[in-house]
Amino acid sequence: MSDGSLPLDEESEDDERGERRRKIVAERREQLVACAEAVAKLAKHRDIKPILAGHVRHDREIRRVLDTVVRRWTLLVPTRFISTGAARSGAKRHREHVVPARVLVDRMIMNPDECRVLFDTAVIIASVTPVEHRKLGGIYTHHEELYRRMLPADVSRLPGLGNQRYLDSGVKIRPIIGSDPIGSRSRTLRGVAARQTC
């Protein structure tokens, strides 16, 4: 084994572990999609208007459950982008939704049939510093016009609109090497997942 490769039995063991992991992740994703669709269908108020989160009066428990489902899904996806600040060695990092969780929850309530495509297309994570996280701010308080555009936009446009929030806030992000570009539908199963989510 002068070429540095693993012995065949170790390679097949790694392949088996990888395949088991893929099956577990796929099963969890199916469960989360089914949960989101079922819960979103229970909502009574589908006509979402942009207002402060604290002023939302309809479907509050449903929103909390959907937010939890989005955050559980987030644990199954790699961080795909990193900010310039977070890339510095030793910088504290937060995981941040490029398309805010509030937008995802609103969209699920507006159209429960979109849950799967929202998860597959718009749950994109960037690693940012705590200061950058605050700069990005709440979607309504800091980016009201962008929030208004995200609500009716085609799902395929959400990643680009989410990226616009970074541009507007002056937070520069770049793809993590080996990660998919913004808006890509494919996902990798590898990636270091920090426990802190936005």
Rounded Cα distance, 76 and 111, in Å? 23
Rounded Cα distance, 15 and 22, in Å? 10
Rounded Cα distance, 167 and 150, in Å? 15
User: How far from 58 is each of 33, 53, 136, 176, CA to CA, in Å?
Assistant: 22, 11, 26, 38
* H or E element, residue 197: none
Q: What is the pLDDT of residue 118?
A: 97
| Segment 180-196 mean pLDDT | 34
Q: What is the pLDDT of residue 77?
A: 94
Would the pTM of this model clear 0.75, i.e. be above it? yes
Of the listed ranges 121-125, 173-177, 179-183, the least confidently predicted one is: 179-183
Residue 127's DSSP bridge partners are: 82, 95
- Contacts of 106-110 with CB under 8 Å at 24 or more apart are 106/48, 106/151, 107/150, 107/151, 107/155, 107/158, 108/36, 108/40, 108/66, 109/40, 109/43, 109/45, 109/46, 109/48, 109/59, 109/62, 109/63, 109/66, 110/46, 110/47, 110/48, 110/151
Of the listed ranges 94-103, 132-141, 154-163, the least confidently predicted one is: 132-141
pLDDT tier at 153, thresholds 50, 70, 90 = very high
Indicate if the pLDDT at residue 151 is higher than 60: yes
In this structure, the number of other CB atoms found within 10 A of the CB of residue 162 comes to 24
Indicate if the pLDDT at residue 61 is higher than 90: no
| Segment 43-70 mean pLDDT | 79
| Segment 22-27 mean pLDDT | 93
Indicate if the pLDDT at residue 16 is higher than 60: yes
Judged by DSSP in three states, 132 sits in: helix
In this structure, the number of other CB atoms found within 10 A of the CB of residue 5 comes to 9
Average pLDDT of every residue of the chain:
83
pLDDT tier at 51, thresholds 50, 70, 90 = low
Question: Nearest CA to 115 among 41, 198, 197, 26?
Answer: 41
Of the listed ranges 53-62, 132-141, 144-153, the least confidently predicted one is: 53-62
